[in-house]
Structure 1
Amino acid sequence: MASKIVLIGSGAVGATFAYTVLVKGLATELVIIDQNKDKALGDALDLNHGLMLAYPMKIKAGGYEDCEGADLIVIAAGAAQRPGETRLDLMGRNVAIFRSILGEVTQYTQTAILLIATNPVDLLTLVALKITGWPKNRVLGSGTLLDSSRFRYLVGQKLRIDPRSVHGLIIGEHGDSEVPLWSSLNVVGTPLEDHEENSRFYISPEEKEKIYEETRGAAYEIIAKKGATYYAIALALARITEAILRDQRSILPVSAYLEGEYGVSDICLGVPCVLGNNGIEEIVQVPLSQEEREGFLKSAKTLKEFSHQIGF
C-alpha cells in the first residue's frame, strides 16, 4: 500500500530516522525538508545510493508543497539549547520555529498525521495541536516510548534477560518528572512486585531507584559523552511510524492530548495509546498505584505551568 512520509528537519535525529525508514521499508515515498537545502539534498542522495541494498522507495529533498498527499509528517526541526539559555527561552524560540513550519504545512494539507520529535516534545506537541487546530488523534509526540525502552533495557540488564521479555512503561513527561510504573512491570505475566527477595526476578527498592535515575538521566549522559542522542529516538519514531502506516493497532506510550484521562486535561503527556491509520485510535488507561498517580499528576502540573508561561 502506497504511503508518503515527509520529514521536516534533517539533523542528527531526522537523518537517522530517514535511514531507519529506508532500512525497514516503512514507506513508498520519503521527502526530506530542511532549512539547509544542501543537507537535505545530500541526505537524499546518500539514501538513494542504498536503494539497491534496501527497499524500493522514492526519496528526495523537497519543499513544503510536498506535504500535499502526505500520510505522515514528522517534525524533527528545532533550535538547540545555547549555553546559559533557560528552558523557557529555548521554548520561545522553538514555538516561533513551529509557527513558521506549521503555517507552511497547513497550506498544503489538512489530513496528514503529525508526529513531533523536537524537545521538549510534550509541550511542542501541545503547541502543534493548538496552532493547527487539527483533531487530537492526528497530532502526537514521541512521548515516553524512548524512556520506556531505556527502562526495559536497564531492568533486563539487572535481571539478565532480554529487554523484549520485560513489560513495563514510563508515563508522563519525556523528561525529569517522568513516572516509572513499577506496579505493573512484569516478566512472563508475573508482576515483579510479587517476587520475594530470594527470587531471581526480585529488584530491591534501592535498585529500583538506581534504575529510575539512570533512565531519567540517560539523555544527559549520552549528550555529555557524544553531544546528542539520535539512534534510539530514531528507532522509537520508526516504531510509531510503522504502527500508524501499517494500521497495526499497537499500544505504545506516546505524547497525547488528554481530556480527563488519568484525571488530567488540556496538556499532552506520554501515555499508552492504540496507534493505527487514524493516528491515536484510543488512549489506554492503566491502573496506577497511589504513588504513581501522584507522580503523574505532579508531572502534568509541571508541564501545565510551563505551557501557561509560553501562552498555551
Structure 2
Amino acid sequence: TVAGIPVPDLIKMGKSTQEKIDAIVKRTRGGGGEIVGLLKTGSAYYAPATSGIAMAEAYLFDQKRLLPCAAYVDGQYGLDGLYVGVPVVIGAGGVEQIVEIALDEEAKGNFQVSVDAVKELLVACKGIDGSLN
C-alpha cells in the first residue's frame, strides 16, 4: 500500500504503472546492498532518520498518522509475539492501531518471507544469547 491505498488501486487510478511498481520492488529487494554502498558516504542514514523523525512527530504531535513500522503483533495478520513491518497509526499513545489490509496471494507470500526472516533472526540471536526470549 501507499498511504493506505493498495498498489493495484493506485495503478487503476492512473497514479502509477505496473512497470514503475516492479522497478520499485526490484530496487527495494536489492536495497540492502545499495545501503551498504552508501554507508561509505554517510548518506545511508538519511532515509532511516527521516522515517524515525516522521514517527516521532506523529507521536509528539498526536498526528494519528498512518506509517509503515515494525510493530508487535498480537493476533493481527494471524501472527503472535513478533515485531514485523506492518501499517500502523501512530499518535500520542504510540502505535495506536495496527491496520490490517487485505493481501493478495503475492503480497501474502512476500509478507511470509519477511516474517520468516524475522523468525530466523530471532533463532540466531537466541543462539548467541540463550537468555533472550
- Partner of 1:214 in structure 2? 27
**Equivalent residues, number:** 125
SS in 1 for 2:18: coil
Match of 2:68 among 253, 277, 297: 253
SS in 1 for 2:112: helix
Quickly say closer, same or farther: Cα 1:215–1:298, change in 2 above 3 A: closer
- Partner of 1:185 in structure 2? 7
Quickly say closer, same or farther: Cα 1:304–1:218, change in 2 above 3 A: closer
Mapping of residues 1-312 of structure 1, within 5 Å: 168=2, 184-185=6-7, 190-192=9-11, 194=12, 201-204=16-19, 207-227=20-40, 228=42, 229-311=44-126, 312=133
Q: Which amino acid is the alignment partner of residue 237 of structure 1?
A: G
Question: Highest relative contact order (Cα 8 Å, sep 6+), 1 or 2?
Answer: 1
Conserved? CA contact 1:264–1:297, under 8 Å: no
Distance 2:16 2:89 in 1: 29
Please list every run of 5 or more consecutive structure 1 residues that lacks an aligned counterpart in the other structure: 1-166, 170-180
Aligned CA-pair RMSD: 2.6
Distance 1:284 1:215 in 2: 22
Distance 1:200 1:283 in 2: 25
Deviations 1:215-257 (A, max 9, x none): 2323422432452411222111111000001111111111101
Query: Which of 1 and 2 has greater Rg?
Result: 1
Q: Which amino acid is the alignment partner of residue 232 of structure 1?
A: A
**Alpha-carbon offset, residue 210 of structure 1:** 2.8
TM-score (norm 1): 0.36
Aligned-pair identity in percent equals: 30
Q: Which amino acid is the alignment partner of residue 2 of structure 2?
A: G
Please list every run of 5 or more consecutive structure 2 residues that lacks an aligned counterpart in the other structure: 127-132
Distance 1:200 1:284 in 2: 22
Q: Which amino acid is the alignment partner of residue 23 of structure 2?
A: K
**Alpha-carbon offset, residue 200 of structure 1:** 8.3
Quickly say closer, same or farther: Cα 1:246–1:284, change in 2 above 3 A: same
SS in 2 for 1:191: helix
Quickly say closer, same or farther: Cα 1:309–1:221, change in 2 above 3 A: closer
